[in-house]
Structure formats: structure tokens, C-alpha cells
Amino acid sequence: MRIRGVKTNIPFIENVITHPIFEAGEATTTLIDTTPELFKFKRRHDRATKLLKLLGNTIVNGNDQVKGRPVPDMNLPVIVPPHDHTTKLPKGTKDYLDKHGPEKFAEWTRNQKRLLITDTTMRDAHQSLLAARMRSYDQLQVADAIAFRGSELYSLECWGGATFDTTMRFLYENPFKRLRRLRERIPNICFQMLLRGANGVGYSNYPDNVIRGLVKHSAEAGMDIFRIFDSLNYLPNLRVAMKAVREDTNSVCEGTICYTGDILDPERDKYTLQYYVDMAKELVKMGAHIIAIKDMSGLCTPHAAFKLVKTLRSEIGTPIHFHTHDTSGIAGASVIKAAAA
């Protein structure tokens, strides 16, 4: 696996594991102190990251070297997924939520036998080095096509987390305006966002009235499902946001467990299966309509996902949303096992 764009200690580790003393099995911690060549690293060109930075910067800020030159007539068509504009939009999850409310919506979710999919394209399209520059204009090009596939998606994760920051920092757009425009074009699918508890969508611990205001205005702009989490599973940081969703909106409150450790390893006794069960029960008491398992680092193996989801389903009555990142390359298998539970 090649990692680019961030500074790592990989060159140092490579120097250590290829050193003759290490290969001979005679290395101790003093090897680092007595071997200065371990810290001499080969220069890496990292051409891919440089190219992406250039393209992203040029898209946003233009190219000074070509100012004044005639712009060629490209006439390239916008590639839009096919859909029939003459047909009526299919009913989707947003229609059900508006009609029956969050409690019935959660009950309906729990009773579904099919695999319900949350599409994250609209969110992840903000957050890569190049696509962080994806404008509202670009997303709206495919909004109609997504709406016409509305019966196939549970929700569309299109906002929250780092998207709020990148929309303002790189594009100088109003995040709420983007959300409202997407809502106008996609009226039939639930929108979902990531909310960092007391940190909102920022990087500080904000006052309670700020978090309540963010939740209220987000819901008014079109947000339906709030996935609320704290990276350290510190539940007091979730209380204000969860309470605001329950009391000030008609939206769904999704309380979140951040997964770490390995519940299948009995020697790792801090983050055990019981730890997650107890946390899920507490989140339900705090008002969660849905419990999310947020596997941020792709640590939840397929068998662990099956055991965790199956146990939670037997212990609590709320739906379980398994959300994982494919960091380790096993996410697909984990999703399948979680669904089988």
C-alpha cells in the first residue's frame, strides 16, 4: 500500500527493518540511538499528490500563466445518468418520514428485510484532495438522476463533518444554501449528516446554544438524519445535540458508537462486547431513534461485525446502522456479515 499526501514514519521503519542488525534478530532499542543512518531518508517525489494539488488549485483559482489567452471551445457534454423526466418521482424514505414521523420511521427501518443503503458520494465528493473543490453546480448536475432512483436509497449522506468546512474554505459557498438547493432537487430521499457532538461541524467545543441552533437550522434547510458521535465515546458530549434533534426538529436522532479494539480477543478487555452493549443502551435512554456503529478505521472484522450487530439487535429494539471505512480492505466483507446478523 502506498500512502501519499501525509507525512508518515514509513521511511524510518523501512530503514529499521532492512538494517543488518535488525535482520539478524539482535536489535534492541539502543539501535535507534547509535545508528544515525536510520534517519537518512530517500527523497520521495510524490508526483501524484503534486499533480492533484495543481489541478485543484487551478480549478478554484485559475491559472495565471494562461490569463488573456483565448479559451478553446470544448463543447463537452455533461455526463448525466439517464432518467425519464416525464415520469413522476418515486416515493422514497423522505416521504415516509414526513408522513409518519421519526419514531415510526425507525420502526419501519427495523422491520426491513432488505439491505438499506446510505449513499455517501455527495459527502465524500467534498473530502478528497481534488473533489473538495466540487461545487454545488457540479453536484446539482446529477441531483435529478439521483431523485429518480429514490426508491433504491435509504438516505443520502451529503453534508456535515468536513463538508461544511470545505464548502466555505475552498469554494466560498454557503453550506446551508447548498443543502437547500439539493433538497429542492431531491425531495424524496432522506438526507443524512455527521455531527461531532459538542464540536458541531467544527473543531472547538461550542456553547450549547450554538449546537442547538445548528441542529435547528440544519433541519430547516433539509436535514433528516443526524448521526451524532464523539470520537472518544464520551456520551455527555452528545447530550445537547441529541436533545435538540428530539425536541426542536422532526428529524431522526442517530446515536453513534465509535468502534475500536477487538471484541473477539478476550485479552483486550477494555472495549469489550459488553462495553458496546452498555453504551448502546445508554444512547437509547438519551433519545436515539437509531444506533450507528462507526468503524472509522476499518478495524471491525467480518466476524466481529456479525457478533456485535447480532448482540445489539437482541439487546435493544432500535435499528442498527453499520458504517465502516475501507481502510484495511475488509469493509465489504464486514458489511455483508453485519447485514446477515
The model's confidence at residue 254, banded by pLDDT at 50, 70 and 90, is very high
Q: Which pLDDT does position 127 carry in this prediction?
A: 55
* Ranges 34-38, 102-106, 155-159, most confident: 102-106
259-300 pLDDT per residue, tens: 999 999 999 999 999 999 999 999 999 999 999 999 988 899
Length, in residues, of the chain: 341
One-letter amino acid for residue 217 of the chain: H
- Amino acid 117: pLDDT: 80
Highest mean pLDDT among 114-118, 132-136, 301-305: 301-305
- Tell me the percentage of the chain whose pLDDT exceeds 90: 59
What does the pLDDT read at residue 256? 97
Tell me the three-class secondary structure of 199-262, residue by residue: HCCCCCCCCHHHHHHHHHHHHHHCCCEEEECCCCCCHHHHHHHHHHHHHHCCCEEEEEEECCCC
For the ranges 43-57, 115-129, 216-230, 307-321, which has the lowest average pLDDT?
A: 115-129
pLDDT grade, residue 244 (50/70/90)?
A: very high
Rounded average pLDDT over 16-39: 92
* Topology at the third CATH level for domain 93-340: TIM Barrel (3.20.20)
Helix segments in the chain, DSSP class H: 10-17, 20-23, 30-34, 47-61, 93-111, 121-127, 136-140, 143-147, 162-169, 175-185, 208-221, 239-248, 273-285, 302-315, 331-340
Residue 114: left if φ>0, alpha if ψ -120 to 50, beta else—which one? beta
Mean pLDDT of 92-117: 93
CA-to-CA dists, residue 31 to 9, 18, 27, angstroms: 16, 13, 6
Phi, psi dihedral angles at 239 (to 5 degrees): -60, -50
Query: For the chain, what is the mean pLDDT?
Result: 88
Summarize the confidence of residues 149-164 as an average pLDDT.
Answer: 87
Which of the listed ranges 47-56, 77-86, 139-148, 177-186 does the model predict with the highest average pLDDT? 177-186
Name the residue with higher pLDDT: 1 or 307. 307
User: Order of strands, edge to edge, in the sheet holding 320-324?
Assistant: 118-119, 155-160, 190-195, 225-228, 252-258, 290-295, 320-324
- Residue for grid cell 517525489: 45
From the number of C-beta atoms within 10 Å of its C-beta (0-12, 13-18, 19+), residue 134 rates as: buried
Distance CA 160, CA 199 (A): 11
For residue 272, give the C-alpha cell: 469489550
Residue 131 Cα to chain centre, angstroms: 15
By CB atoms closer than 10 A (0-12, 13-18, 19+), residue 120 is middle
Residue 15 has pLDDT above 90, yes or no: yes
151 vs 304, more confident: 304
Q: Report whether 149 contacts 186 (CB < 8 A).
A: no
**Residues 6 or more apart in contact with residue 301 via CB below 8 angstroms:** 262, 264, 330, 334
pLDDT, average across residues 317-322: 94
Q: Where are the domains of the chain?
A: 10-63, 93-340
What would the grid cell of residue 254 be? 442517530
**At 190, which amino acid appears?**
C
Find, among 224, 227, 135, 212, the residue nearest to 187 by Cα: 224
**pLDDT-based confidence at residue 315 (cuts at 50, 70, 90):** very high
- Considering 37-51, 187-201, 327-341, the range whose residues carry the highest mean pLDDT is 187-201
Where does the pLDDT of residue 124 fall: very low under 50, low under 70, confident under 90, or very high at 90 and above? low
The region of weakest confidence among 221-225, 264-268, 326-330 is: 326-330
Stretch 96-119: mean pLDDT: 92
At 11, list the grid cell.
521511511
- How far is 66 from 76, CA to CA, in rounded Å? 20
Q: Give whole-number Cα distances, 217 to 122, 176, 210, in Å.
A: 20, 8, 10
Q: Quickly state the pLDDT bin for 328 (edges 50, 70, 90).
A: confident
**What pTM does this model have?**
0.76
Contacts of 80 (CB under 8 A, 6+ apart): 141, 142, 144, 145
pLDDT reading at 172 higher than 90: no
